[in-house]
Amino acid sequence: MGKDMLMWDETLFKDGNVLELDYLPDHFSHRESQMQSLMYSLRPALRGMRPINSLISGPPGTGKTTTVLKVFEEMKKHSEDIVFIKVNCQMDSTKFAVITRVYQGLFNVSPPSSGVAFIKLFEKVMNYLIEKEKTLVLCLDDINYLYHEGHADEVMYSLLRAHEQYPGAKVGVIAIVSDTGKLYQFDPKVNSVFLPEEIAFPRYNFSELQDIIGGRIDLAFYPNVVMDDVRDAIVEYVDLTGDLRVGIDLLKRSGLNAERRASKTILVEDVEKAYETSRLLHLRRSVQSLTPDEKLLLCLIAENKDVQTGDLYILFHEKTDLGYTRFYDMVNKLSEARYVDADFSGKGMRGRTRIIKPRYQPEDILKCLE
Ligand SMILES: Nc1ncnc2c1ncn2[C@@H]1O[C@H](COP(=O)(O)OP(=O)(O)OP(=O)(O)O)[C@@H](O)[C@H]1O
């Protein structure tokens, strides 16, 4: 065996755990201002005051959840009277599931699984907070998943007006929206009490991605396993979507591919092969946050490739009873969220028409929509 070959019991990974998606990085840079804003909003809770609510928004994989967890970690060191709970609304996508999580977070046991109404659990939670003089800071991560059937509005409304029915109850809400397009409008009743501090998470630029990915490489691999050209190949792939999750998944898969070849270094070809799978990670995750009608529209665009808006509307209208305005808004949303390009062709009988093109391989889109 050559000296460049990896022995069967050797590994390239110094610490593979740092490539798991639930790993919370010790070193978290390029989000200082967002962390500051969130700290300022929550700081009143350290003095027993009600915190300011926050609305965090930005594209997938830009460090939103990590920022909240880092701030929670930091604040826990300074107060025992604040309870920090994060609910993943993708998993818990009804108001009942959300309050169940909160209940579990406070009491360390699950509520009885049947026959208990939302309001009963809510009352127990609020009474506990009042009696123990605790402030609840609740992060509703990926709140998009609660938008259906008014769950988001009901949860927000109950939490934000809790003190009216339960005087003394202190609750602060952090809503995280994973979105690139126009943000969901809460019911006006919710808006009048939510009044959040808005914290935007733009995509990381190329050099920030280089720095973050480089840092993760140093933690995950032994020295000289990943050279700079390979790191940059990874960063270029991540830069296509701006989703760091793709980068971290690419590192893990590329490392495993190199090990399979018994190589002591990762090559660009290992990364290219890994990207075949990793690229779907971003698409699959972001597609999940679309509404059923938006998914249908995206599916039609993928099936028909370069299609004119008018023709697309006919196809869409055959399957739904939605009107042209809603349709047009959805096309814009898919375009803003970079699923599709919607360019004016300059041609067409009645002036300029738009041609809608998928920005991903149509087969990838269809696979992720399955
Ligand atoms: N500045 C950073 N430094 C180091 N790692 C980061 C940074 N930003 C994000 N990450 C890593 O990228 C991954 C995705 O981050 P995170 O889950 O916080 O993104 P998100 O914006 O909440 O995504 P989504 O909207 O899809 O839930 C995590 O594994 C996290 O550790």
Q: What pLDDT digit, counting tens, does each position of 230-261 carry?
A: 999 999 999 998 999 999 999 999 999 999 99
Looking at the predicted structure, is the pLDDT value of residue 181 above 60? no
**Are residues 56 and 111 both part of a single domain?**
yes
Q: Which atom of ligand 1 is nearest to the CA of 62?
A: 21
| Spatial distance between the Cα atoms of 208 and 205, rounded to a whole number of angstroms | 5
SS (H, E, C) 246-259: HHHHHHHHHHHHHH
pLDDT band at 111 (very low <50, low <70, confident <90, very high): confident
ipTM of the complex: 0.98
Residue 95 tokens read as 């108001």
Range of the domain at 333: 290-369
Residue 15, SS3? coil
Write down the residue that tokens 């998009």 correspond to.
144
Give the pLDDT confidence score for residue 343 in this predicted structure.
Answer: 80
pLDDT score of 254: 98
Is any atom of ligand 1 closer than 6 Å to the C-beta of 90? no
Q: Is the CB of 29 under 6 A from ligand 1?
A: yes
Tokens of 59: 């594209």
pLDDT at 350 (0 to 100): 56
Pocket test for ligand 1, best of 65, 67, 183, 213 (most atoms within 8 A of CB): 65
Residue 187 lies inside a defined structural domain of this protein: yes
Amino acid at 242: G
Backbone angles phi, psi at 79, to 5 degrees: -155, 140
- The tokens describing 18, both together, are 């740092």
239 CA from centroid of ligand 1 (Å): 14
Check which CATH number belongs to the domain holding 316 and give it: 1.10.10.10
Contacts of 147 (CB under 8 A, 6+ apart): 184, 291
What is the pLDDT, as a whole number, of residue 147?
A: 81
pLDDT-derived band at 288 (thresholds 50, 70, 90) equals confident
Instruction: Identify the CA nearest to 348 among candidates 310, 312, 313, 315.
Output: 310
Q: Which of 267, 287, 307 is the last residue of a domain?
A: 287
Q: How much distance in Å is there from the Cα of 216 to the middle of ligand 1?
A: 12
* The predicted structure's pLDDT at residue 131: 97
42 phi, psi to nearest 5 deg: -90, -20
Nearest CA to ligand 1 atom 15: 63
Question: Above 70 in pLDDT, residue 149?
Answer: yes
Are residues 294 and 253 both part of a single domain? no
Residue 163 sits in the same domain as residue 50: yes
pLDDT of residue 135: 97
- pLDDT (average), residues 201-221: 97
| pLDDT at site 106 | 96
Q: Is 265 annotated as a binding residue?
A: no
User: Could you tell which of 33, 244, 285 is best to mutate to test the pocket of ligand 1, judged by most ligand atoms within 8 Å of the CB?
Assistant: 244
Instruction: Kindly give the distance from the C-alpha atom of residue 120 to the centroid of ligand 1, in angstroms, as a whole number.
Output: 35
Residue at 3 is within a domain? no
Using a 6 Å cutoff on CB, does residue 284 contact ligand 1? no
pLDDT score, position 145? 81
In a domain, 13, yes or no: no
Same domain, 174 and 246: no
The pLDDT value recorded for residue 18 is: 97
Q: Is the CB of 57 under 6 A from ligand 1?
A: no
Check if 199 has its Cβ closer than 6 Å to any atom of ligand 1: no
Atom 13, ligand 1: residue with shortest CA distance: 245
Same domain, 190 and 221: no
Do residue 265 and residue 306 come from a single domain?
no
Q: Looking at ligand 1, which residue's alpha carbon is closest to its atom 17? A: 65
62 is in an annotated binding site: yes
Q: Do 298 and 350 belong together in one domain? A: yes
Hey, what's the torsion of the CAs at 11, 12, 14, 20, to 10 degrees? -100
Give the separation between CA 137 and CA 139, rounded to whole angstroms: 7
In angstroms, what is the span from residue 258 Cα to ligand 1's centroid?
Answer: 25
Question: Which residue, by CA, sits nearest to atom 24 of ligand 1?
Answer: 60
Distance (Å, rounded) from C-alpha 151 to C-alpha 153? 5
At 361, the amino acid letter reads Q
Distance 320 CA to ligand 1 centre (A): 36
- Domain contains 6: no
- Tell me, what's the pLDDT at 179? 72
Asked which of 240, 263, 287 is the last residue of a domain, the reply is 287
Are both 174 and 230 inside the same structural domain? no
pLDDT band at residue 137 using 50, 70 and 90 as cut-offs: very high
Residue range 173-194: mean pLDDT, rounded: 83
Q: Are 236 and 302 in a shared domain?
A: no
Q: Is 242 in the pocket of ligand 1 (CB under 6 A)?
A: no
Between the CA of 23 and the centroid of ligand 1 the distance, in Å, is: 10
Identify the CA nearest to 19 among candidates 8, 11, 7. 11
Query: Does residue 254 fall inside a structural domain?
Result: yes
Tell which of 232, 258, 287 closes a domain.
287
Give me ligand 1 centre to Cα 221, in Å. Answer: 20
The pLDDT score that the predictor gives to residue 314 is 94
For residue 46, give every residue at least 6 positions away whose Cβ sits within 8 Å of its Cβ, in sequence order, or none.
75, 78, 79, 82
Name the region of 317 (left: φ>0; alpha: ψ -120 to 50; beta: rest).
alpha
78: tokens are 């300074």
Query: Is 51 domain-assigned?
Result: yes
Please answer whether residues 201 and 58 qualify as being in contact, where contact means their C-beta atoms are separated by less than 8 angstroms: yes
Once rounded to an integer, what is the mean pLDDT over residues 287-305? 90
The Cα–Cα gap between 87 and 276 comes to 31
Q: State whether 223 and 312 are in the same domain.
A: no
Is residue 266 a contact partner of residue 230, using CB atoms and an 8 Å limit?
yes
Give the CATH number, domain containing residue 83: 3.40.50.300
In this structure, what CATH number is given to the domain that contains residue 223?
Answer: 1.10.8.60
Residue 172 annotated as binding site: no
131 inside domain: yes
Structure confidence at residue 5 (pLDDT): 82
Q: What is the pLDDT of residue 347?
A: 57
Query: Is 312 close to ligand 1, i.e. is its CB under 6 Å away?
Result: no
* 65 carries a ligand binding annotation: yes
Quote the distance between the C-alpha of residue 148 and its chain's center: 17
Q: Using CA atoms, how far apart are residues 245 and 370, in angstroms rounded to an integer?
A: 21
135 labelled ligand-binding = no
| Pair (311, 232) in one structural domain | no
Same domain membership, residue 196 and residue 255: no
At 77-92, the pLDDT tens digits run 999 999 999 999 988 9
Mean pLDDT of the chain: 91
Which of 81-85, 148-152, 281-285 tops mean pLDDT?
Answer: 81-85
Structural domain includes residue 7:
no
Does the pLDDT of residue 346 top 70, yes or no?
Answer: no
Interhelix angle 362-369/292-304, nearest 10 degrees: 150
Ligand 1 centroid to Cα of residue 162, in Å, is 32
pLDDT digits 0-9 by tens, 314-337: 999 999 988 999 999 899 888 877
Q: How many domains does the chain have?
A: 3
